[in-house]
């Protein structure tokens, strides 16, 4: 059955004890034989679900539209907003598996937009509506795969709204914009790698006077390569990042969470502190990836 055994490890952040438990699952389960007929029944069930998914997508889109109408009437009502976000999350998780990747991408982007608070969302109504209109069109036209010419036309329509949302010159000004821009976002250590990671666009990160190009990044942190500077797990670092070709920089505080994984010289860092303007900058990069021309 095996025995419990322990060992002391140190990955650079201090000693810690690892407890190894025996794997008794096989003994409990016993011998396992594969039933070809059962597998075929399971595959047939999946095919049946896939055939009916357009109806499920239509129901989800109708639920999003309903929640959107309710939320417009009462912007401070978190119940309607949360219902909208929940359905968008469902579409994000289901659509890609049933050959509706365009719907999954739009729902993912909508989830990013909905992270704003109610006050900020009052002037992002256009981008929220553009996402909902896109999901409605995908459902009504049953746009699968990348959508071909119709899909490209749909994304091009959304691109104009996305550019408007990302442009400070066109965004409605508020008396407390400066205060909102200077506020900070603090990250919980357990947030970790929950966010989707993007290999592009490449960010240029400056730490200790040395500039690195990101291998990938997310709303929670980033990974760089060719790092020869000595670092340790848990080390707190201060730096800035910018988009290639743009002079504007965003300052951050981050901690080292992984070293030399998956290759030597690679370092993964998690944000500890980031300005709200910095978070908006990353969100704009994500939206532009989805709604690029």
Tell me the C-alpha distance between 272 and 184, whole Å. 10
Provide the number of structural domains found in the chain: 2
We report the CATH number of the domain holding residue 98 as 1.20.120.160
User: What domain range is 270 assigned to?
Assistant: 183-276
For every residue of 90-123, DSSP letters joined together read: HHHHHGGGGT-HHHHHHHHHHHHHTTS-HHHHTT
Whether 15 is covered by a domain: the verdict is no
Q: Read off the CATH number of the domain in which 254 is found.
A: 2.40.10.220
| Overall average pLDDT of the 208-235 stretch | 90
| 55 and 162 fall within a common domain | yes
Residue 171's pLDDT is: 39
Q: Is residue 166 part of a domain?
A: yes
165 in the same domain as 235: no
Task: Please tell me the total number of residues recorded for the chain in this structure.
Answer: 293
How far is 98 from 113, CA to CA, in rounded Å? 24
Q: Both tokens of residue 31? A: 């011998």
Q: Kindly report whether the global pTM for this prediction surpasses the value 0.75.
A: no
For the four alpha carbons of 150, 155, 161 and 164, in that order, the dihedral sign comes to: negative
- Tokens at 204, concatenated: 């240029």
- Please say which residue of 172, 207, 239 terminates a domain: 172
- 28 is a domain residue: no
- Domain match, 267 and 215 both: yes
Question: Both 64 and 150 in a single domain?
Answer: yes
CA dihedral of residues 121, 219, 60, 149 (deg, nearest 10): 100
Question: Does 107 share its domain with 214?
Answer: no
Q: What is the pLDDT of residue 176?
A: 38
Is there a contact between 255 and 272 (Cβ–Cβ < 8 Å)?
A: yes
Under 8 Å between Cβ of 255 and 231: no
Is residue 152, in this structure, part of any structural domain at all?
yes
Determine, yes or no, domain membership for 282. Answer: no
**pLDDT band, residue 113 (cuts 50/70/90):** confident
- Judged against a pLDDT cut of 70, whether residue 127 lies above it is answered with yes
Domain boundary among 113, 147, 172: 172
| Same domain assignment for residues 68 and 158 | yes
Q: Does residue 292 fall inside a structural domain?
A: no
The pLDDT-based confidence of 1 (bands split at 50, 70, 90) is low
Residue pLDDT, tens place only, 147-180: 877 777 666 656 555 554 444 333 333 333 333 3
Question: 216 with 272, same domain?
Answer: yes
Domain co-membership, 164 together with 84: yes
Place of tokens 């502190």: 273
CA pair distance 82, 118, nearest whole angstrom: 11
- Note the pLDDT tens digit of each residue in 245-279: 888 899 999 999 999 888 888 999 999 888 777 87
Domain boundary among 172, 199, 218: 172
**With contact defined as beta carbons under 8 Å apart, do 269 and 253 qualify?**
no
Inside any domain, residue 29: no
| 158 Cβ contact list (under 8 Å, min separation 6) | 106, 130, 131, 133, 134, 290, 291
Considering the domain architecture, whether residues 75 and 44 belong to the same structural domain is answered as yes
Same domain, 91 and 116: yes
Q: Is residue 11 part of a domain?
A: no
Mean pLDDT across 174-187: 41
């Amino acid at each position: 059955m095996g025995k419990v055994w322990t060992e002391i490890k140190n990955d650079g952040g201090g000693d810690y004890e690892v407890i190894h438990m025996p794997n008794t699952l096989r003994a409990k389960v016993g011998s396992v034989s594969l039933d070809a007929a059962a597998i075929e029944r399971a595959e047939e069930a999946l095919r049946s679900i896939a055939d009916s998914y357009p109806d499920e997508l239509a129901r989800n889109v109708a639920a999003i539209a309903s929640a959107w109408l309710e939320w417009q009437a009462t912007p401070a009502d978190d119940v309607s907003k949360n219902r909208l976000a929940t359905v968008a999350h469902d579409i994000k998780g289901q659509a890609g598996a049933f050959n509706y990747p365009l719907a999954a991408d739009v729902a993912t982007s909508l989830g990013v937009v909905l992270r704003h608070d109610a006050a900020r969302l009052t002037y992002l109504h256009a981008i929220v509506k553009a996402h909902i209109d896109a999901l409605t069109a995908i459902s009504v036209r049953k746009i699968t795969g990348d959508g071909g010419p119709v899909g490209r036309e749909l994304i091009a329509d959304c691109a104009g709204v996305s550019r408007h949302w990302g442009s400070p010159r066109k965004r409605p000004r508020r008396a407390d914009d400066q205060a909102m821009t200077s506020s900070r976002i603090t990250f919980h250590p357990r947030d970790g790698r929950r966010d989707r990671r993007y290999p592009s666009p490449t960010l240029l990160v400056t730490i200790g006077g040395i500039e690195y190009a990101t291998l990938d990044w997310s709303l929670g942190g980033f990974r760089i390569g060719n790092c020869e500077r000595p670092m340790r797990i848990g080390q707190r670092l201060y730096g800035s990042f910018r988009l290639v070709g743009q002079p504007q920089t965003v300052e951050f505080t981050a901690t080292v969470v992984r070293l030399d994984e998956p290759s030597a010289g690679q370092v993964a860092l998690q944000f500890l502190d980031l300005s709200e303007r910095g978070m908006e900058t990353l969100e704009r990069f994500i939206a532009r990836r989805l709604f690029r021309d």
